[in-house]
Amino acid sequence: MSDIEGLGLGPGGECLCPNCGYKIPHERGKPCQQETCPECGSKMIRMGKR
Return d(Cα 4, Cα 36) in angstroms, integer. Answer: 18
Among 29, 25, 28, residue whose Cα is nearest residue 44: 25
Give the pLDDT confidence score for residue 1 in this predicted structure.
40
Instruction: List the domain range (segments joined by +) for residue 27.
Output: 14-47
In a domain, 7, yes or no: no
| Domains held by the chain: number | 1
Pairing of strands 23-25, 14-16: antiparallel
pLDDT, tens only, 1-50: 444 445 555 667 899 999 999 999 999 899 999 999 999 999 999 987 65
Q: How many CB atoms lie within 10 A of CB 49?
A: 10
In a domain, 3, yes or no: no
In a domain, 20, yes or no: yes
